[in-house]
Amino acid sequence: MSAGAQSESALARVRHDMRTPINHILGYSELVAEELADEGVTSVAADLEKIRNAAQELLRMVGEHLSDDGFARLGSGLGPETPSAPASGQTVAKFETHSDARAAVTGRILVVDDNLENRETLARRLQRQGHSTTMAADGAEALEIARREPFDLVLLDVLMPVLDGYGALAAFKADEALRHIPVIMISALDEIESVVHCIEEGAEDYLPKPFNPTLLRARIGASLEKKALRDQEQKYLRRIEETQRHLKSELDEAANYVRSIFPQPTDEPFRIDWNYAPSMELGGDAFGYHWIDGEHLAIYLLDVCGHGVGASLLSVSAINVLRSGSLPETNFRDPAAVLAGLNNAFPMERQNNMYFTIWYGVYHSPTRILRHASGGHPPSLLLVPGGAVRELRAPGMLIGVMPDIGYASDACEIEPGSRLLVLCDGTYEIKRPDGTMIEFDDFKNFMQENGARPDGLERLLAWVRQLRGGGALEDDFSILRVQF
């Protein structure tokens, strides 16, 4: 540090020490005047004003003479500068006795100052404004108190023993439990570097001694308002987080229910397994298989437009209708009749404008004939012995879009050892990171090579996730395999 800087730093300390008792005079004279005015006593108001003016003049003289410029003027024989008179039309500020009316926003304030008179004067002023106060003599005590009790604001002196204001400010901002409390630094130091340092370290504001009552009230009010807004924001955030946790719990429960309605893999009389990976907690895909009677096995997979709760509710409703056979006057051995019945039972205008696609097949065990129909759904794949792949498709309208339309079914014979793959479009409509989509033929070739493997469905899911580039899939992934 240069000699000039050392000199100015020493003078700043002297100015601080000399201003402290003068500030006591100012503070107590203001408080006495306010309290007497509240009681209607005006007889000593003029004397108190004289005391205040004299104290203000002393503060001016300390600032003027105890500085490098002041000493330079004395050394040159120029003497002190003469204070200029107020310009025409300009008045000297007068003390207003009702400046400490109750503040609009009040709070719990921790007053930290090593000087007892400073603490008490400031605390009394704050209490008159409606705040509750607690006092601490240094930064270490302030931290100890703040860790025990909640506060809305800390008024922190800069120059203190044990732990000064800089160290205490740093400790407040480093403590996760305290860093949200706004801190206003207070000091008689008049060095701009001190102000800048405190603001950079996280102080909310800075107030010089002696306090301007209006400025003190305004700065404290602004800090408390911001603290109140932050507290309200944190309250809303906690409420949102609690709602999200509750909603997630409900969604997890709903997702578990959706999975519970899927049939278990089976080995008799055919090996049937599946793989399912919704893009969200709740997806719009659902599937199933059940014996209609001793000879007819129903196999089906549907895909509701969209995702989430609405799509999942519709898919579960449709699956339950198929499982229970509750479509009136419908022959569930006839795929075309089943799709026509579903179309009339689930019109999209009664399903929040949601529709679905479906592939529905019925396998007749004695004849090995599979009849199938499709409502806007991707074709199923039949892997026949020898490596060939057949697409099983039957054109048909989306379910729920248009009432009273007919559907057509098709039929094929299933060779022993064949494997039927019933799937949704989320198994092959995969967008790569560069934005390109894989072709259906790419998917078909992959299943031709891997569909007969015991882990073929797991291989497929790993493959599409690799093509996707990691992360969640854009659409629900569902595939059902029947090994005849």
The CATH class, in words, for 262-483 is alpha beta
What is the model's pLDDT at position 279?
A: 80
Q: pLDDT digits over 349-382, tens only? A: 999 899 999 999 999 999 999 999 999 999 999 9
| Bridge partners, residue 303, by sequence | 285, 357
Query: Do the domains at 99-227 and 262-483 have one common CATH topology?
Result: no
Query: What is the per-residue pLDDT across 185-217, written as a single tens digit (0 to 9) for each?
Result: 987 666 667 878 888 999 998 888 777 778 888
The 10 Å Cβ neighbour count of residue 362 is 24
Split at pLDDT 50, 70, 90, the class of 320 is very high
pLDDT of residue 86: 43
- pLDDT tens, residue by residue, 239-270: 888 888 887 787 778 778 878 888 999 998 99
CATH of segment(s) 99-227: 3.40.50.2300
| Full-model pTM | 0.58
Please say if the pLDDT value at position 138 is more than 60.
Answer: yes
* pLDDT of res. 475: 86
Predicted local distance difference test score (pLDDT) of residue 101? 60
Burial class (CB in 10 A: 0-12, 13-18, 19+), 78: exposed
Q: Does the structure show a pLDDT above 50 at 2?
A: no
In the chain, the percentage of residues whose pLDDT exceeds 70 is 81
Element (H, E) at 338: helix 335-345
Strands 183-187 and 205-208: parallel
Q: Write the pLDDT tens digit of every residue in 268-302.
A: 899 999 999 888 767 789 999 999 999 999 999 99
* Token couple for 262: 């899927």
- What are the sequence ranges of the domains in the chain? 1-77, 99-227, 262-483
425 neighbors 473 (Cβ within 8 angstroms): no
* Cα–Cα dist 63/18, whole Å: 10
Please determine, for residue 221, whether its predicted confidence score (pLDDT) is greater than 60: yes
